[in-house]
Structure 1
Amino acid sequence: MNAYILTIGDEILIGQVTDTNATYMANALNDEGYEVIEHLSVADTRKGIRNGLDRALAVADVVLMTGGLGPTKDDITKKVLAEYVGTEMAFHEESWERLQKIYSSFGKEATKHHKVQCELPATATVLTNMRGTAPGMWLEYKGKIIVSMPGVPYEMRYLVSHEVIPRLVAGNGDSQRQRSLTILTAGEGESTIAEKIEPVEDALPGHMGLAYLPNLGTVRLRLTIRGTDEAVMQAEIKEHQGKIEAIIGHLVYGYGKEDLALAIQRRMQEQELTLVTAESCTGGSIASMITAHPGSSGHFKGSVVAYANSVKNNQLGVPAGMIHKYGAVSKFVVEAMATGARERLNADYAIATSGVAGPGGGTEDKPVGTIWVAVAGPNGVKSKLLRAGKDRKRNITYTVHQALNMLRTELDKAGS
């Protein structure tokens, strides 16, 4: 079946808010075998919403809408929906009672403005929003389904997972669904991986597909299958996953939405190992990525952002003569940074970076994008020269991924 995503809000159109709702809804629909035909953002106006619905219902069986359900006068989605499907607005007493209880639990009283949120299209099936005050609405119109939900992301996600998808699945019966597995790799580029696993890809059955999703220093491989039998689909995905990993298993660091920092956290905590970083050109970005995950204190001890040469010398013990002779951006200095951090912060492993992130600061010998990374551990220290571009942000992200993957590789070797 075809689906359409319609997001409502001037704040989206003017770039004030990034529309993450569409991504979530598309993933949820895709998992259940719906083909998302189009995603459209419209203004919170009668004309914008009506035009959006006209466009959506012309091509899709299901329309998921977000936005415009607040208590203020500029939120007109409910009234436009009622008008569009030819019904009246009606007060929903159960929603009002629930809303009053919510505010009472906070020692507050619901006002007449909140009461407006309980005025809904009379023919709508109310979807209880356990994460907020604005209910969702399920409308059936000319054999098609229109679902309207709040634009607040965590409220929308609750309604999609607990109300919308279960209803769609129940209505589909034995209709074909879609399942996928994302294999996460690092260490080789998209074209190299594609060449290596070409025989597996060419032999995929017609109801399966393989997509390459590259990022700076990483490539995600998404295996997708369509079918009606859940057990059969999962078995086929596992079979082809095995064939892929028989070829590039050494590049695989995880699955699904896991990133390199989380993959390292899992490995280090399983082996009861500790980590520190010594960062120059990345400015603490590696440490930030690591500590973004709950539980990172179980293996990560700390970081030294050694931007100045004096900090490299005084805090990490890099000899001043070494810096003077080879320069801060060099194999010798980055290895000394990693070794010094490991020893002085008393950790099992240390990552170090030093380079010219750009856009300025490059020389003829060391142009912008010249970056060294090193990993020090129980088996010594290893380093790698990166040749990146001229975009500072991209260079830092690329370096973070490369450095983390160096450590991941060392941990996999030690654990094998």
Structure 2
Amino acid sequence: MQLSVIVIGDELLLGQVTDTNSGEIARHIAPYGWEVNDVQAVGDEAEEIRRAIDRAFELSDVIITTGGLGPTKDDITKGVLRDYFGGELVEDPAVLENVKQVVSSKGFRLNDLTAAQAIVPTSCRVIQNRVGTAPIMWFERDGKVLVAMPGVPFETREMFQSEVFPQLREKYRTNVDIEHAVLMVTNYTESGLAEYIAAWEEALPPHLHLAYLPKPGLIRLRIDGAHPDKAFITEEVRRAAAELHEMLGDAVIATDDLTPAQILLKECGRLGLTLASAESCTGGNIAHELTLIPGSSEVFVGSVVSYSNEVKMNLLGVGAKTLEENGAVSLPVVREMAEGVLRATGAKVAVATSGIAGPGGGSEEKPVGTVCIAAALLTPEGMTLCEAETYHFAGTRSRIIESSTTRALIKAIKLLRTI
């Protein structure tokens, strides 16, 4: 099943806001055999919105619009949809009550503009927005559906996953069963991985499909299968995943659709180990990735962001001589940082980073993108195992920080897999 997405708002065309809603929708529906076949971005202009809807209905039976449903004058989507599908704009008591509850739960007072969110076209069926004030509107014509959703990414993600998409799946039922498997792969570039498994991929039967979903330092391979026979396609996907896993060996760090932070926390939890980070160039981003995950406090104990040499020495115990002889961006320094944060926090596992994220600060010997990363483990016998390596990442400052974060987490995962 295919659907089209229309993202609405002048701020999108001006570059003031980046569209993330279409990507969220596409990622959520893919495992169910649905796909986004068209994305349009239009401004807050009635004729543009109408033309976009006409075009989308030529391509798809389902349209999701996001944006333009706010209480201000520039949010015109509701009126355009009333004109397009017919009916009148009337106040819906159930919507008004929902708006009141949402506003009250956030500690605000209801004003006239926000109360006007309860005015909706009679041609739509309302899905109450539990997390925002803009009601979700479901329109139907000639067997086709348009669902108008708010532009706030959190609201769209929450309500699309919990309410809108389940109702779309119920309406457009299919007798085809969808199965999928995921392998998280490291140590390959996307092109290098594709070349290595090319013969295997070319031999896949038509009911199986392989997708590459790369991020810095990590590639998510997803095997999708579709067939009316559930038992058959389940076994086919399992068999293909097992073959691919055997081919890639230790490059596969997980067979679940998890982030490196989730994998590391899961591995530490399995072994009953606590975790800490010592960060220089990543500036706390490793700790941020870990603490985004619910339940991380059961494993992660803390972080030292040691941006300056003084903090490296005073809080982590990095030797002044080590810094003087090797420089802050060096393997001896990150080893001492990792071992130091183990002592400082009492954790059993640690990662440490020190590098040059740019755009300045590089040299011929250590250019921008040079990052030293260490992972350390305190064994039950009281010995410290520490592995460190120098990496050279490309891209912007934020890209280098992201790559360094991912590589540090993966390095710790691989160290734990050795015990």
Residue 399 of structure 2: aligned partner: 394
- Partners in 1 of 2:327 and 2:275 — Cα distance? 26
Alpha-carbon shift at residue 282 of structure 1 (Å): 2.5
CA contact (8 A) 2:98 2:128 kept: no
CA contact (8 A) 2:273 2:299 kept: yes
Question: What does residue range 14-413 of structure 1 map to in structure 2 within 5 Å?
Answer: 14-96=14-96, 98-99=98-99, 113-114=113-114, 116-176=116-176, 178-255=178-255, 257-377=257-377, 378=379, 380-389=385-394, 391-413=396-418
Alpha-carbon shift at residue 131 of structure 1 (Å): 3.0
The CA deviation string for residues 26-61 of structure 1, in whole angstroms up to 9 with x for no partner, is: 234434433422111212221121121122122221
Alpha-carbon shift at residue 19 of structure 1 (Å): 2.1
Alpha-carbon shift at residue 268 of structure 1 (Å): 0.8
- Partners in 1 of 2:338 and 2:110 — Cα distance? 59
- Partners in 1 of 2:29 and 2:202 — Cα distance? 27
What amino acid is aligned across from residue 235 of structure 1 in structure 2? E
- Partners in 2 of 1:107 and 1:318 — Cα distance? 48
What amino acid is aligned across from residue 191 of structure 2 in structure 1? S
* Secondary structure in structure 2 of the residue aligned to 1:283: coil
What amino acid is aligned across from residue 125 of structure 1 in structure 2? R
Over the aligned positions, Cα root-mean-square deviation in angstroms equals 2.9
Alpha-carbon shift at residue 386 of structure 1 (Å): 1.2
- Partners in 2 of 1:234 and 1:33 — Cα distance? 14
- Partners in 2 of 1:383 and 1:67 — Cα distance? 47
- Partners in 2 of 1:95 and 1:342 — Cα distance? 54
The CA deviation string for residues 201-242 of structure 1, in whole angstroms up to 9 with x for no partner, is: 222111221122222111111212223444543333222111
When structure 1 is superposed on structure 2, of 247-256 and 58-67 the one drifting more is 247-256
Alpha-carbon shift at residue 110 of structure 1 (Å): 5.8
Q: TM-score, normalised by structure 1?
A: 0.88
What amino acid is aligned across from residue 287 of structure 1 in structure 2? A
The CA deviation string for residues 166-199 of structure 1, in whole angstroms up to 9 with x for no partner, is: 3322333335465443322223332343344334
Q: 1:115–1:413: structure 2 CA closer, same or farther, 3 Å change rule? A: same
Alpha-carbon shift at residue 70 of structure 1 (Å): 3.0
- Partners in 2 of 1:268 and 1:337 — Cα distance? 20
Q: 1:258–1:148: structure 2 CA closer, same or farther, 3 Å change rule? A: same
What amino acid is aligned across from residue 250 of structure 2 in structure 1? H
Overall identity of the aligned pairs, in %: 40
5+ long unaligned stretches in structure 2:
none
* Secondary structure in structure 1 of the residue aligned to 2:151: coil
Q: 1:153–1:257: structure 2 CA closer, same or farther, 3 Å change rule? A: farther
- Partners in 1 of 2:329 and 2:386 — Cα distance? 17
The CA deviation string for residues 301-342 of structure 1, in whole angstroms up to 9 with x for no partner, is: 323333333333333333323332233332323223323332
The CA deviation string for residues 352-403 of structure 1, in whole angstroms up to 9 with x for no partner, is: 2223333323333333333222222235222112123363332222222222
Across the two proteins, how many residue pairs are aligned to each other? 414
* Secondary structure in structure 2 of the residue aligned to 1:394: helix
Q: TM-score, normalised by structure 2?
A: 0.87
Q: 1:159–1:196: structure 2 CA closer, same or farther, 3 Å change rule? A: same
The CA deviation string for residues 55-110 of structure 1, in whole angstroms up to 9 with x for no partner, is: 21222211111222233333322222122124343443443455566668899886
The CA deviation string for residues 248-271 of structure 1, in whole angstroms up to 9 with x for no partner, is: 242223355521122111111221
